[in-house]
Structure 1
Amino acid sequence: MEMNDMGITPTLPRLNEPAPDFEAITTFGPMKLSDYRGKWVLMYSHPADFTPVCTTEFIGFADAQEELAALNVQLLGLSIDSVFSHLAWVHAIQEKFGKHVPFPIIADIDMKVSRLYGMLHPAASNTQAVRALFIIDPEGIMRLMMYYPMTTGRNIQEVIRVIKALQTADAYKVNTGANWQPGDPVIVSPPKTVVAMDSPNQDVTCTDWYFCTKTLPE
């Protein structure tokens, strides 16, 4: 792979493969990604501390902390700033907006994690990580990656919806369709034989032989 203008060979984790482990300093002290094995991890990067769009995102994730904790999710923030900058920004958010940031923020000043996770996009910025978001399951497997431009903040409720969809898919071995919300019908795998196609399960509703749904128990 060609090197970019920063002399860095870009890397990108891949879905359904182990998420790269790393060690880092955070606002909660030293950590390793593997420390959170057994939890879902939601790690997201922001371009810089003390910037307005990033501030709205941290407030949004702080507001969602309780709901995410109930889903066994560990939040991790990250930017290419020092831990001292992070601490000052957290204090400012508390002082100016009345919001406590109850999760660690990784100080990636050497860009180690940003490089490992493909967060550096030179066409967007040579000095900041883009708005990347990663969801890693309790086994340490990468399950979802999202990238946003510098100008656009994330939809926190969509992130929560995706986590619930992933957890539902794992628990019931089903798929979830567009705009799925908890309580909506889920999509079941199509039949693989003629006998199965002609004799669908009683709890399954089929619009066509390949498109069958069912309602999960509450």
Structure 2
Amino acid sequence: MTLTVGSALPDFEAISSHGPMRLHDWLGGEWALIFAFKAMSPTCSTEFAVLETLHKAYEACGARVLGVSIDMDETVSAWLGDLRDALDCTPSFTLVNDPSGAVPRLLGFIDETASQASLYRTALLVAPDRRIAMTLTYPVTNGRSFSEILRTLKAVELTAQRKVATSSTWTDGQPVMLPPSLAQEQAEAMYPQGVKVLRPYLRIVAQP
């Protein structure tokens, strides 16, 4: 199953690191980051270390964090011990381990072309309406930037609430752009502090 932007997020029940969970109930109408991981992986080890330092920042944005693997609980437990000892990292976000592959497959994380069970290095941002707001897939040899995903989370949260667009380097508090569909007269009424017009399709305002 392939999930793309706008797809409805499937539901599932599982035993997580924080106890039994039903995905849609766990979401609770909040934003969420759901990502695939592989225990005993060098790239995932560094990803977990970084993500744990950013976990509170995700929570401050009203987003929950869930990692999903196809590893056995015992394997993940041993790996988490390694992370604690080697990287001083004790993840506080929720984990689901499903050796059967049912949950990762439901989320589109399984590489069906691999000769052995393997996960794509995929991350999903899920909106409060339980639809996919962003998908990101990296090669297994390259770690994902959870700082960039956090930046994207802030951007999609903003654009979900306001009729604006963000640049490739936008960060929270910086100017934003207006969509071409918004008439200039409306734009000036909505942003009396000023609309900088570089081109009819390229108009910049302060972040609302």
TM-score, structure 1 normalization: 0.86
Give the aligned partner of residue 21 of structure 2.
31
Give the aligned partner of residue 170 of structure 2.
180
Q: Aligned pair in 2 of structure 1 residues 209, 30: CA closer, same or farther (>3 Å)?
A: same
Q: Aligned pair in 2 of structure 1 residues 125, 77: CA closer, same or farther (>3 Å)?
A: farther
Q: Aligned pair in 2 of structure 1 residues 27, 122: CA closer, same or farther (>3 Å)?
A: same
From 42, 62, 68, the equivalent of 2:33 is 42
Distance 1:16 1:199 in 2: 28
User: Could you tell me which amino acid in structure 1 is paired with residue 105 of structure 2?
Assistant: R
Offset, 1:187: 1.2
From 80, 96, 105, the equivalent of 1:106 is 96
- Confirm whether residue 90 of structure 1 aligns to residue 84 of structure 2: no
Distance 2:9 2:186 in 1: 41
SS at match of 1:78: strand
Q: Aligned pair in 2 of structure 1 residues 140, 37: CA closer, same or farther (>3 Å)?
A: farther
Distance 2:56 2:12 in 1: 26
Offset, 1:125: 5.7
User: Could you tell me which amino acid in structure 2 is paired with residue 132 of structure 1?
Assistant: T
From 198, 201, 205, the equivalent of 1:214 is 205
Q: Aligned pair in 2 of structure 1 residues 134, 209: CA closer, same or farther (>3 Å)?
A: same
User: Could you tell me which amino acid in structure 1 is paired with residue 199 of structure 2?
Assistant: D
Distance 1:125 1:53 in 2: 21
Distance 2:101 2:14 in 1: 11
Distance 1:206 1:38 in 2: 37
- Structure 1 vs Structure 2: percent identity of aligned residues? 29
Give the aligned partner of residue 205 of structure 1.
196
CA deviation string 1:87-144 (max 9, x = no partner): 2222221123211110111112111122112212244563121111011012211111
SS at match of 1:161: helix
- Confirm whether residue 165 of structure 1 aligns to residue 146 of structure 2: no
Q: Aligned pair in 2 of structure 1 residues 198, 159: CA closer, same or farther (>3 Å)?
A: closer
From 8, 11, 22, the equivalent of 2:12 is 22
Distance 1:59 1:37 in 2: 26
CA deviation string 1:147-172 (max 9, x = no partner): 11110001121011000101111222
Q: Aligned pair in 2 of structure 1 residues 59, 199: CA closer, same or farther (>3 Å)?
A: closer
Measured on the aligned residues, the alpha-carbon RMSD in Å equals 1.9
Offset, 1:191: 5.1
- Which structure 1 residue ranges, 5 or more long, are not aligned? 1-10
Distance 1:191 1:55 in 2: 44
- When the two structures are aligned, how many residues end up with a matched partner? 203
Q: How does 1:57-206 map to 2 (within 5 A)?
A: 57-123=47-113, 126-190=116-180, 196-197=183-184, 201=188, 202=192, 203-206=194-197
Q: Aligned pair in 2 of structure 1 residues 124, 63: CA closer, same or farther (>3 Å)?
A: farther
- Which structure 2 residue ranges, 5 or more long, are not aligned? none
Q: Which runs of 4+ in 1 moved over 4 A?
A: 196-200
Q: Aligned pair in 2 of structure 1 residues 86, 200: CA closer, same or farther (>3 Å)?
A: closer
Distance 2:7 2:171 in 1: 26
Deviates more, 1:175-184 or 1:83-92: 83-92
Does the CA contact (< 8 Å) of 1:37 and 1:139 recur in 2? Answer: no
Does the CA contact (< 8 Å) of 1:26 and 1:83 recur in 2? Answer: no
Distance 1:53 1:191 in 2: 42
TM-score, structure 2 normalization: 0.89
